[in-house]
Structure 1
Amino acid sequence: MPLTPLLRPLSTPLLLLALGLPTLACADATARRSFDVPAGSLAGALTRFAGQAGVSLSVDPALVSGRSSAGLQGEYGVEEGFQALLRGSGLQLLPAGQGGYTLVPQAQPVEGAHELPSTTINGEGFGPASDAYAGGQVARRGNQGLLGERDFMETPFNMTSLTSEALQNQQARTLADAVANDPSVRTTNPSAGRFEQFSVRGFSLYNSDVAYGGLYGVLPTYSIDMEMVERVDILKGPGALLNGLAPNGSIGGGVNIEPKRAGDTPLTEFTALYASAGQAGGHVDIGRRFGEDQRFGLRLNAVRQSGDTEWDHQSLDREATVLGFDVRGERARLSLDVGHQERDVDAPMERVGLAANVKVPKAKDVHHNFAQPWSYSRAKDTFGALRGEYDISDSLMLYGAFGARKGDYDFLRHNVLVNNNSGRFTVSPRAFQREEDVRTATVGARSWFNTGPVGHTLNLSLNRFELTFDNSGARYANGVSNLFEPVALPSPGTPTAPDDPTHTETVLSSLALADTLSFADDTVLLTLGARLQRVEVDSSTDGIPDQAYDERATSPAMGLVWRTTEQLSLYMNYMEGLTQGQTAPETAENSGEVFAPFRSKQLEVGAKYDMGRFSTTLSLFRIERPMYYTDAAGYLRDDGEQRNQGLELNLFGEPLDGVRVLGGAMFLDATQVRTVGGVNDGKRPVGAPIVNANLGLEWDIPAVQGLTLSARMIHTSSQYLDTANTQKLDAWQRYDLGARYAMKLGGKDVTLRASVENVLDKAYWASANVPEGTATGMTMSTPRTWLVSATVGF
């Protein structure tokens, strides 16, 4: 964290920015260290950089008046960083005594003025910068809500931030493809199903809990396309302090998505897309900056892909358009993102549930899509987010954001609950219509100042999330089918019974205060904070009020980072959170019932080692929260407590020239406690494998310039489907292979990509859904899938 300057006007027309402490004035100008200076006025950027560097800077205010800076993030020497901030300003640096500098116009030939080597700055103003770590697959910094964006070495959490470059090279289509890189995250719903859902550290994560630049509930509810994404931040552990209450909890961790911004270099790209079985389409990406000092930016991303999938009688049609606009002013930054996404799936694959005492079927015996051909999923989302920052002074910034989404969903589906060892299940068609309206906002202030030898970054944040949704539907006559030999039944006719319409209004509001204290030249960073939270839920069925909650709680949080060396950071955190209770899904007999809010707790310690080109994070964690399960009668219940503790190892970087690594492992010790009558005490929870492991490799072939080969292995150990631990899924491995070739063709940049997922075409049960999910059951693996794309830059 920066040691914020003390501003002292002198009797001369010079403004002395006395930054840092006298004991830090002799900072080594050549030593490299991590800096995080946001875009804004040049005076503010220089002030913050000098404060973080522990040097003083004297400058005539007239020289910097009216000038702006793109800021910088990453590792720099003192003089190297100053030169980066001054690029294009017409100013140059002049030493002014030990640990001090001044600025002069470049037009003045001054003896001793520094002509420093050129430095490339990737900052893009308000929004994420392309400060990729070695190898380009992971960004150095990620979004941490009210704490701002931080370098991963100065973060008291386990966080991995995937870049748009990595997503494009892996041909990621949705968020499920992106999070497949992280060993602590697993997808718990079938590919090309009605929706995507995930498990982080053994706890559910819903798309509604995926933040969009720190705002919950703005992104599409059921699936999120990756073409709109600049960066995916995967944060492990509860994040209530950072972004407020997540709509569905995010107990094991959360995901934040940063939108794309126009860079300083004009961009026009078209990517042709193809996936095996006939899904063809294209993606357009256009970015431009214009105006004085390129202050205004526009970024357009549009994608359309449709066709048959690997499963019989299944087709998928997805399209999305997102337009981003941003302004970089001297003291103000503003951005606006507006998007629309549609996703239509015919015969979406369903999870497979098992009745009590039924043996787990062999996945290799499932050869066909067991969803009825007439089933479908239709989802439309229109969303937007407005964000702004304003520098009141060089040590005080105000910020705010507002987001909204309108969602319309239409489903015709059926459960797959196998009731005997021969694979028989009853087809119970149900139609659902759902409308969602989300409004969310955050306002806050961030201030930098010193108290004696201690630096402070004080954050104040107020968050509010409002969700209104209406459910309606109908049931149809039952039929019978089989998991191994599906029976195509007639399309449903006249409904046998309508479902009672439900209406739910949820308001999540909170106020947070946090202070990050920096000691000993920023080598020790201590974050202390608390969030006052309120959960209000009103639910009614067929117009009759039946549930209401209004709960309040104060959740403390603490994070500590000790940078023992420039390469090694030790950290710890303790987090508490109040979370809205689970809502019984449409598949439950008590559909629509909203459970009371609950508390969760996490304690985590870890170490991060950055070797410059290769980095590793080792974490030990413990998370506690209440449990949910679906009983034999089909009712969602709450019972007991789930305790997940484990060890995580994350790896990323480019340890050798042309060789990139991305992966790690999670070892999970999960248990049930305080269950009714102690029946399941000591047993493993549903969907909690002992070991998850990922290893992704890329190799640039030296003999063929532009050619890269890639491979990835994903492993998940065995896991239980039921709380009694009588139904167990086998361990599985998936292997992916790929290649890409970058070249010049007709004077244009062209990149060809081809990959195959599940290259061995192995069938397996990929996950057992955690019990609080919207439909309990097993997730079928996706068959071998070919992905081909060609990107042309104009």
Structure 2
Amino acid sequence: MSRSPSLRPLSTQLLRAGLLLALGLPASAWAEESPRRSFQVGGGSLGAVLTRFAGQAGVSLSVDPALVAGRSSLGLEGEYAVEEGFAALLRGSGLTLVPAGPGSYTLVHQIEPVEGVQVLPETTVHGQGLGMVDDSYAGGQVSRRSTLGMLGERDYMETPLSVTSYTSELLQNQQARTLADAVANDPSVRSTNPAGGRFEQFSVRGFSLYNSDVAYGGLYGVLPTYSIDMEMIERVDILKGPGALLGGLAPNGSIGGGVNIEPKRAGDTPLTEFTALYASPGQGGGHLDIGRRFGEGQRFGVRLNALRQAGDTEWDHQRIEREATVLGVDMQGDRTRLSLDLGHQQRDVDAPMERVGLAAGLKVPDAKDVHHNFAQPWSYSRAKDTFGVVRGEYDLSDNWMLHGALGARKGDYDFMRHAVQVVNSAGRFTVSPRAFQREEDVVTGTVGVRGWFDTGPVGHTLNVSLNRFDLTFDNNGARYASGISNLYQPVALPEPGAPLALDSPVHTHTVLSSLALADTLSFVDDTVLLTLGARLQRVEVDSSEPGEPDQRYDEHATSPAVGLVWRSTDQLSLYFNYMEGLTQGQTAPETANNAGKVFAPYRSKQLEVGAKYDMGRFSTTVSLFRIDKPSYYTDAQNNLSADGEQRNQGLEISLFGEPLERVRVLGGAMFLDAEQTRTANGRNDGNRAIGAPVVNANLGVEWDLPAVDGLTLSARVIHTGNQYLDAANRQKIDAWQRYDLGARYALKLGDKDLTLRASIENILDKTYWASANVPDGTATGLTLSAPRTWLLSATMGF
């Protein structure tokens, strides 16, 4: 937690330092030896950098502005003791520190050592300084830091909520292709749409999470809507619970948790890597990653990632082509830090797998009897997204920083699809082809100010933030002649001819705006951190459709939030949070009879308590939570309707790190009680919510073989409990397990670094229903598991 330098007069600090020197006491006499801990301090003016480091370290620092005028620092990141970190920041400046009391320092000109006086020693520091953040926990799979929207980045032990941040190293070693592969590591997150489908969608703590609600450096609406490639990202932060205070309103109303993706930045060391990619039975491609820094002090950085992979999947007549190019540029000045990210992603899928809906009262089909892709060969999904974000930070003074970001995205989507609604036990369903086109234009931005100061013994980090999200989308479509197929024995039907009817075009304009204020107060030497905040939110929706009355909403609400962290010891943090959020109402999907209907905004609430224990190389989080929100369901007439509330409460356990030398673990469990309440006439009160398993569990293990240097074996098991497909709890899918195995070998090929990877997902080739419905009721259906898939890659560094 950040804390500002002391506001005591400089003369008082100098007097204390002079007395210390006059008495001939060693400089460490008033300074206890501090433990090493993780820091991340960006570059800028020397005064501002020293102030931020002192704030993170929880010590007081007095600085004569004349000493630091015109000086700059590259900053630092990594693990340091307090004195070690100051020495790294001041190296070569001709300045040094002298203790002026317990936890208090004064900056002075460096002088020649004299008898009886100890000068801070020269220290060798291993850190990246300016550029790419590398703050990995032991084992390199998880980062210690996460982005908390307007609150900035924080160490996970000082964060009043459950959060796990997966590193690019982990994702590369697991050969993660999309966000679905990344979140498979988390027991509280599950994919609710088939792999190789038109889009990806997830549940967190039993509530839906949409790709459009995934933030990019804390900014919503910038990343591609339907699928997000992992090769372009540096870190994936998964934050549990409503995040209205942190980032404003999520565009599609996700409340169970959020995902933030951090872009790649150039590091100090020049980088040129090429990775050859292969996925069975025939998806080949490559990924190029180049990073360089230029200019005086390497202030300018450029990072380019380019990807292409294409070929057949393990499903019949299914082919995927994916392309992505992302360019990241950054500049670090004395007081100014700027960055620009530009990207384009395209994903084409032939015969995308569909969810399977069931008629009311029908027995759930046995997934083991499904052997083929039941999507028609002529169905397809075409998605193109072009996006960009510019960001900036400016140090108004050593204690105040102005920051802002502006992003935009244009999306073009074209689908030819059909629903799969099984109507009898023989697996019969009607193929009703539908073309669907969608265009999205997003402009989103945030501006804020952050300040560090003290009021007596209390430290403050004050944040003020203004957010605005502006989305315009247009939907069009057409309907074609129907045919009959079968879930177990699919029938290839002729490609659709002329349309029978055109859908009415739908135009929707949504504006989500908010103003937030938050203050994090630190007490008792920063061992107690209390965050108090509120966000004034406004939801404006204007949706029009020919022949239908326009739907307009303009709602306001103030959402409070409280977060408390108590660092009871260096290893143990206890935390509590209460958060509310105003969320945009659901929109009926294109499969519903009332497609396009926009429901009124609603409030959500979360209460959570937890504990985090850091054993140095191994860490665990235990949390209890409760989330309440209105619920939706698709009725017998295939209309999306609001009905009652859903209350999800549960216990989460997560763990990561390197408990034994050469052994890394990553996983945990979630025990969920998801109950329907206040339903119409009480007909479903007490029933379990749709698509909400009682138990999820993950365990991944990596082992570096001592006998073969560079060889690592890995294994992972994923368990998901049984789920209900319907609100009446008459249709249920069984629990399932997935087993993955992998290996990688890092070696030298001449003077080049080479890493070979091989892994098998779903090694037993089990077929099962991975998910029953989307938990908010907007798109009913069963999600079929992906077949056994081989993944191979080879990364060469040049």
Q: Deviations over 1:414-468 (max 9, x none)?
A: 0001000000000000000100000101000111111111111111000000000
- The code of the aligned residue for 1:675 comes to T
* Identity percentage of aligned residues: 78
User: What does residue 412 of structure 1 align with?
Assistant: 416
**Alignment-derived partner of residue 342 in structure 2:** 338
Task: Give the distance between the partners of 1:635 and 1:253, measured in 2 at CA.
Answer: 27
Distance 1:169 1:584 in 2: 39
- Relative to structure 2, which stretch is displaced further, 432-441 or 5-14? 5-14
Partners of 2:13 and 2:3 in 1: CA distance: 25
- The corresponding residue for 1:658 is 662
1:120 to 117, 126, 145: 126
Aligned partner of residue 251 in structure 1, secondary structure: coil
Describe the shift of the 1:57–1:535 C-alpha distance in structure 2 as closer, same or farther (beyond 3 A): closer
Are 1:277 and 2:281 matched, yes or no?
yes
Distance change >3 Å, CA 13–CA 667, structure 1 → 2: closer
Query: Take 1:699 and 1:686, find their aligned partners in 2: how far apart are those partners?
Result: 38
Query: CA contact under 8 A between 1:15 and 1:58: conserved in structure 2?
Result: no
1:187 aligns with 2:152: no
The one-letter code matched in structure 2 to 1:459 is: N
Would the alpha carbon gap of residues 296 and 109 (structure 1) be closer, same or farther in structure 2, given more than 3 Å must change?
farther
Using the alignment, how far apart are the partners of 2:56 and 2:658 within structure 1? 28
CA contact (8 A) 1:84 1:121 kept: no
Distance 1:366 1:52 in 2: 56
In the alignment, the residues of structure 2 paired with residue 168 and residue 88 of structure 1 have an alpha-carbon distance, to the nearest angstrom, of: 37
Partner of 1:494 in structure 2? 498
Are the aligned partners of 1:17 and 1:57 in contact in 2 as well (CA < 8 Å)? Answer: no
Distance 2:38 2:750 in 1: 41
**Is the 8 Å Cα contact of residues 79 and 116 (structure 1) preserved in structure 2?**
no
1:642 partner letter: Q
1:5 aligns with 2:5: yes
Q: Which residue of 1 aligns with 2:219?
A: 215
Equivalent residue runs for 1:181-580 within 5 Å: 181-542=185-546, 545-580=549-584
Aligned residue for 2:21? Answer: none
- How big is the shift at 1:30? 3.1
Residue in structure 1 matched with residue 693 of structure 2 by the alignment: 689
Q: Which amino acid aligns with 1:777?
A: G
Which amino acid counterpart does residue 123 of structure 2 have in structure 1? P
Alignment of 1:745 onto 2:749: yes
Summarize the alignment of residues 82-121 of structure 1 with structure 2, pairs less than 5 Å apart.
Answer: 82-87=86-91, 89=93, 91-94=95-98, 101-102=105-106, 112-121=118-127
Kindly provide the CA deviation profile for residues 573-608 of structure 1, in whole angstroms up to 9, marking residues without a partner as x. 000000000000111100100000000000000000
Counterpart of 2:622? 618
Residue from 718, 734, 752 that aligns with 1:730: 734
Shift of 1:546: 1.8
TM-score w.r.t. structure 1 length? 0.96
Contact in 2 for aligned 1:162/1:232 (Cα 8 Å): yes
**Residue 178 of structure 1: SS of its match in structure 2?**
helix
Distance in 2 (CA, whole Å) between partners of 1:242 and 1:59 is 32
**Aligned equivalent of 1:21:** none
1:755 CA drift (Å)? 0.3
- How far, CA to CA, are the matches of 1:296 and 1:438 in structure 2? 29
Q: How far off is 1:60 after superposition?
A: 5.5
Q: Offset of 1:2 from its aligned partner?
A: 2.7
Tell me which residue corresponds to 1:146: 150
Q: Deviations for 1:714-740, whole angstroms, at most 9, x for unmatched residues? A: 000100001110000000000000000
Contact 1:502 1:543 in 2 (8 A): no
In structure 1, C-alpha distance between the alignment counterparts of 2:29 and 2:506, rounded to whole Å: 65
Root mean square deviation of aligned Cα: 2.1
Compared CA separation, residues 33 and 520, structure 1 to 2 (3 A): farther
Task: Give 2:54's match in structure 1, choosing from 50, 57, 73.
Answer: 50
Q: Structure 2 CA distance, aligned partners of 1:66 and 1:341?
A: 42
The 3 A distance-change label for structure 1 pair 155 and 644 is: same
Q: What CA deviation, in whole Å up to 9, does each residue of 1:708-766 have, x standing for no partner?
A: 00000000010000111000000000000000000110210000000000000000000
Aligned counterparts of 1:177 and 1:512: Cα–Cα separation in 2:
33
Answer yes or no: is the 8 Å Cα contact 2:535–2:560 preserved in 1.
yes
- Structure 2: any 5+ residue segments left out of the alignment? 19-27
Write the deviation string for residues 42-81 of structure 1: whole angstroms up to 9, x where unpaired. 2112123334445454556455333333434555322112
1:764 equivalent to 2:768? Answer yes
CA contact (8 A) 2:649 2:672 kept: yes
Distance in 2 (alpha carbons) for counterparts of 1:792 and 1:270: 5
Aligned with residue 704 of structure 2, among 692, 696, 700:
700
Aligned to 1:647: 651
Q: Which residue of 1 is the match for residue 23 of structure 2?
A: none
Distance 1:288 1:662 in 2: 32
Structure 2 distance, partners of 1:596, 1:193, is: 29
Contact kept? 1:752, 1:791, Cα under 8 Å:
yes
Unaligned runs of 5+ in 1: 19-23
Cα deviation for residue 115 of structure 1 reads 1.9
- AA in 2 matched with 1:117: T
Contact in 2 for aligned 1:388/1:399 (Cα 8 Å): yes
**8 A contact 1:353–1:416 mirrored in 2:** yes
1:112 deviation in Å? 2.8
Contact 1:375 1:413 in 2 (8 A): yes
Task: Please list the CA deviations of residues 183-240 of structure 1 after superposition, one character each: whole Å capped at 9, or x if unmatched.
Answer: 0000000001000000000000000000000111100000000011000000000000
Given that residues 417 and 435 in structure 2 are in contact (C-alpha distance below 8 angstroms), is that contact kept between their aligned partners in structure 1? yes
How far the C-alpha of 1:37 sits from its partner, in A, is 3.5
Question: Does the aligned pair in 2 maintain the 1:36–1:151 contact within 8 Å?
Answer: no
Q: Which residue does 2:73 correspond to in 1?
A: 69
- 2:203–2:775 contact (8 Å) kept in structure 1: no
**Secondary structure at the counterpart of residue 551 of structure 1:** strand
SS of the equivalent of 2:606 reads strand
Higher deviation after alignment, 581-590 or 72-81: 72-81
Note if contact 1:25-1:98 (Cα within 8 Å) is conserved in structure 2.
no
Q: Give how far 1:87 is off.
A: 4.3
2:296 alignment partner AA: E
CA contact (8 A) 2:265 2:329 kept: yes
SS at match of 1:683: coil
Deviation at 1:29, TM superposition (A): 3.1
SS of the residue 2:504 aligns to: strand
Give the distance between the partners of 2:530 and 2:663, measured in 1 at CA. Answer: 36
Question: Among 29, 42, 57, which residue is 2:33 paired with?
Answer: 29
Could you tell me the TM-score, scaled by structure 2's length? 0.95
Question: In structure 2, do the counterparts of structure 1 residues 778 and 13 end up closer, same or farther at CA, with 3 Å as the change threshold?
Answer: closer
Equivalent residue letter for 1:423: G
Count the aligned residue pairs: 787
Per-residue CA distance 1:248-288 (angstroms, 9 max, x = gap): 11110000000000001110000000000100000000000
Which residue identity does 1:121 align to in structure 2?
G
Task: Encode CA deviations 1:310-359: one digit per residue, 9 max, x unaligned.
Answer: 00100000000000000111111111000000000000000001001211
SS at match of 2:503: strand
**CA 1:13 to 1:651, structure 2 compared with 1: closer, same or farther past 3 Å?**
closer
Q: CA deviation at 1:776?
A: 1.1
AA at the equivalent of 1:135: G
